[in-house]
């Protein structure tokens, strides 16, 4: 089996010692070992790569530590690991594409010690979403809740073990949907939710500037009342235990 490596080529020695080949071109690889979260995001979101990815040193429970990579490669060669499809999110603001997320996307106040008010909605059951215009139609959406907070995060199942979990959200299985979690809410008791996308987030007050964050990168400002729509856009193939 042939592995390509991105993020830290030094792991190639471990892969060879485990009995596998290391190739320089991703196009000729049977799987890609992505070392670190940045390398994993870049690889998983690259639509030209169609082979599965082995996450290494991503500080998540589903990631393989470098120190046990030899065991992981041996289990892959033995056929003991399986490809798991994890959804990728696409985010738009008022109909304009803003980015894709492997882990999560968040609305957050841009200035410290400021809060805003956020609304969450999900697509009504039976809604016929045939075009992007349907996602901007208020009749498509069923309001879930509104709350004052520092922000709100929507996490994929893969990302639900990271920041969203630290903010009080649930760990979500690969096919269960996305976790929606208020960040530092003003109320002492605030719900979290798991819904299948499409989802809509809105800034409900003009209290403070709010930024859209996609996988830890600030993408743009989000004006009040402009809909931020989150949909599923493909999936990442990960080789996991």
Q: Find the CATH number of the domain harbouring 222.
A: 2.60.200.30
Looking at the structure, tell me whether residues 111 and 214 fall in a common domain: yes
Which pLDDT does position 15 carry in this prediction? 95
Looking at the structure, tell me whether residues 157 and 211 fall in a common domain: yes
Q: What string of pLDDT tens digits covers the 241 residues of the chain?
A: 999 999 999 999 999 999 999 999 999 999 999 999 999 999 999 999 999 999 999 988 899 999 999 999 999 999 988 899 999 999 999 999 999 999 999 999 998 778 899 999 999 876 767 777 878 888 889 999 999 999 999 999 999 999 999 999 999 998 899 999 999 998 877 899 999 999 999 999 988 899 999 998 999 999 999 999 999 999 999 998 7
22: Cα within 13 Å, side-chain hemisphere: 16
3-state DSSP call for residue 134? Answer: helix
- Taking the model in full, what pTM does it have? 0.92
The residue among 61, 80, 99 that closes a domain is 80
CA distance 8 to 16: 14
In a domain, 240, yes or no: no
15 CA to centre of own chain: 27
Number of domains in the chain: 2
Looking at the structure, tell me whether residues 61 and 93 fall in a common domain: no
The residue among 18, 53, 80 that closes a domain is 80
Looking at the structure, tell me whether residues 115 and 168 fall in a common domain: yes
Looking at the structure, tell me whether residues 60 and 92 fall in a common domain: no
CA distance 136 to 57: 39
Domain range for 123: 88-234
Looking at the structure, tell me whether residues 138 and 27 fall in a common domain: no
Q: Where are the beta strands (DSSP E) in the chain?
A: 2-6, 21-22, 31-35, 53-56, 82-93, 96-101, 104-109, 116-123, 141-155, 178-185, 193-195, 199-203, 210-214, 217-221, 228-240
Which pLDDT does position 140 carry in this prediction? 87
């Amino acid at each position: 089996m042939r592995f390509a490596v991105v993020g830290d080529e030094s792991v190639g020695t471990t892969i060879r010692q485990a009995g596998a080949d290391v190739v320089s071109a991703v196009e000729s690889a049977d799987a890609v070992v992505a070392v670190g979260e940045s390398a994993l995001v870049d690889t998983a979101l690259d639509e030209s790569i169609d082979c599965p990815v082995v996450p290494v040193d991503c500080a998540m429970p589903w990631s393989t530590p470098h120190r046990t990579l030899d065991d992981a490669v041996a289990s892959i060669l033995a056929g003991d690991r399986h490809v798991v499809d994890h959804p990728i999110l696409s985010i738009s603001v008022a109909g304009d594409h803003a980015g894709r997320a492997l882990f999560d996307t968040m609305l957050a106040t841009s200035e410290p010690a400021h809060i805003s008010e956020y609304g969450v909605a999900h697509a009504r059951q039976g809604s016929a979403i045939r075009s992007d215009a349907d996602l901007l139609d208020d009749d498509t959406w069923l309001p879930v809740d509104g709350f004052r907070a520092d922000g709100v995060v929507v996490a994929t199942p893969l990302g639900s073990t990271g920041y969203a979990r630290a903010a009080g959200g649930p760990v979500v299985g690969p096919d269960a949907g996305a976790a929606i979690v208020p960040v530092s809410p003003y109320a002492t008791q605030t719900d979290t939710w798991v819904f299948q996308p499409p989802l809509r987030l809105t800034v409900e007050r003009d209290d403070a500037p709010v930024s859209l964050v996609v996988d830890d990168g600030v993408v743009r400002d989000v004006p009040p009342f402009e809909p931020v729509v989150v949909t599923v856009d493909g999936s990442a193939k990960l080789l996991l235990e």
